[in-house]
A and B are shown apart, each in its own frame.
Chain A
């Protein structure tokens, strides 16, 4: 039982890491290698707000999210849009966005290093036991999980039930066709990129409650998020959410039942198995 709970908590954390990237890749078609740095930036913001002003990291989202949205929207407008315009094919855009966001990730690391220094950051907030069925769990993880669940739910609802959400899904399925039916694709892409960045940074703020981080740690989050998004199928947020939880459960199960040394190996093993049998990800649609 506690394997399931721990797994779910971890899955919630993974969902926070990956959902933003899913929006950015799925809708805006940018494979954002600076995703992890954006997450760490959120962590730094939360750390700074918590240690400097004693505001809860959870509340800090109110500031972090709009700032991150603005920053990512600008990044898209300034850096990504010219690439989208000049790309002749999807493959070309992929290559260009890998190169560009790789450079951006360096810049972000450099900025955070200059602002905060290179040491490890960790603080205690709500690091208290919370009992579920006689077993203790970290309260801050549970809060992060609840937030993650709310975020997943509302994103899913929003994508499916609102006009803008529908626009996003249309762009994600077929950008060209979406353009033909009168959707402003560049605008939708910029918005999606911004929202994705906001989700990622908010995730970073929440994760900072229980993960030790430093300025150069972002690449680890980026890799995790990439793997989750790809496993789920790049065009469907359901896949990302589901995989985040599957991965959380699988890693915990392996760690508890087999050997903690194989946790990450198990995650990548699962990744490879899924891609071998479903080359377009779990929720991917095969294009014929």
Chain B
């Protein structure tokens, strides 16, 4: 791995990392270490919430890997997620679980590659709705395929994988996503992505194969979503297309990422955690007005925090810097 090019203040280095990056890495390791202890402390409700948070963290972060820098809002997460689930649901009797995870990754990447190539000419809202439509198409085809070819079984995922295992697997996946994200950010690929996100024409005229970069990133993102679906299949035990390919999932992933801030690697998780907690609090406290309360909470967030939590943080950080420089 080569060193990042715009060092600026490269006063202190450790295997090619700046002091800031090293601190970031250490913080990350500590957070992950702490997070991985959760199942030892609480195997009940806390763990359930942990699985939910870990799942959305992976999905939102991998979504933001592609959509953050390029500003292409993809609503196809459910398609990858559902396919991953179906790979496990359909193949459990034939292959061991780890192999299925790999297959899910491959299927996700291939599908994302196709979507990527197909959507090169689309932009803005057309891309958004295209991905939504495609996810629905896949769901319809899976449903139809299940009807015409399917046997009555194959949708039950009866394994010995318990919630603890799922949680740890998700954590490993999350760590993997962060590492990939970090690596992309400091590689030429990440630099190219940022240029594309700023101005695609300039990117092309600087020699960047914009199509290739976008498709590659989309494949990474789709593959991760498929693996997430595969990992969660044992938790749901019984898979139906309406539930595996729920469009609500795609929307939630986008919304959590945006609430956190999609332009930083660690942005989405800042959206996922409070969102999941508030969501949960509302479910617990307002069982009969869940939808209403969620809507209200939602609007409060949208209007009070226009640029996500990251945007909020950056605003105050900038203010602090002004104040510090003055002092």
Answer whether A and B touch in the complex at a CB cut-off of 8 Å: yes
A interface list, Cβ under 8 A from B: 25, 31, 33, 79, 82, 86, 90-91, 94-96, 98-100, 102-111, 113-114, 216, 219, 223, 226-227, 230, 234, 259, 261-262, 264-265, 268-269, 271-272, 275-276, 279-281
Residues of A with C-beta under 8 A to B294: 103, 106, 110
Known contacts A107-B291, A107-B299, A268-B136, then 16 further A-B pairs from the complex at CB < 8 Å, ordered by chain A residue = A91-B124, A94-B128, A98-B255, A103-B296, A107-B296, A108-B295, A109-B292, A110-B292, A114-B292, A223-B132, A230-B125, A230-B130, A272-B133, A272-B134, A279-B122, A281-B126
* Inter-subunit contact A94/B124 (CB<8 Å): yes
Cα–Cα, bound, A272→B132 (Å)? 10
For chain B residues 254-279, which have a beta carbon within 8 Å of chain A?
A: 254-255, 258-259
A206 to chain B, nearest CB (A): 25
Cα–Cα, bound, A111→B290 (Å)? 10
* Inter-subunit contact B148/A261 (CB<8 Å): yes
* Inter-subunit contact A110/B291 (CB<8 Å): yes
Residues of B with C-beta under 8 A to A281: 126
Cα–Cα, bound, A227→B132 (Å)? 9
* Inter-subunit contact A106/B291 (CB<8 Å): yes
Interface size on B, as a range, is 35 or more
* Inter-subunit contact B291/A268 (CB<8 Å): no
For chain B residues 294-318, which have a beta carbon within 8 Å of chain A?
A: 294-299, 302-303, 306
Secondary structure type dominating chain A contacts: helix
Cα–Cα, bound, A109→B71 (Å)? 30
Enumerate 7 A-B pairs (CB-CB under 8 Å) in ascending A order: A79-B299, A95-B73, A104-B299, A109-B291, A230-B129, A268-B140, A269-B137
Residues of B with C-beta under 8 A to A96: 302, 306
Compute the total of residue contacts between A and B using a CB distance below 8 Å: 126
* Inter-subunit contact A111/B292 (CB<8 Å): yes
Secondary structure type dominating chain B contacts: helix
* Inter-subunit contact A102/B255 (CB<8 Å): yes
Interface residue? B147 (CB, 8 A): yes
- The 8 A-B residue pairs with the shortest CB-CB distance, nearest first, are A110-B292, A106-B295, A103-B298, A107-B295, A268-B137, A265-B140, A110-B291, A230-B129
Cα–Cα, bound, A106→B278 (Å)? 15
* Inter-subunit contact A268/B306 (CB<8 Å): no
B249 to chain A, nearest CB (A): 12
* Inter-subunit contact A227/B292 (CB<8 Å): no
Q: A227-B133, A272-B130, A272-B137 are in contact. Are A31 and B125 (CB under 8 A)?
A: yes
Interface residue? B289 (CB, 8 A): yes
* Inter-subunit contact B118/A272 (CB<8 Å): yes
Residues of A with C-beta under 8 A to B132: 223, 226-227
In the complex, residue of chain A having the shortest beta-carbon distance to the beta carbon of B299? A103
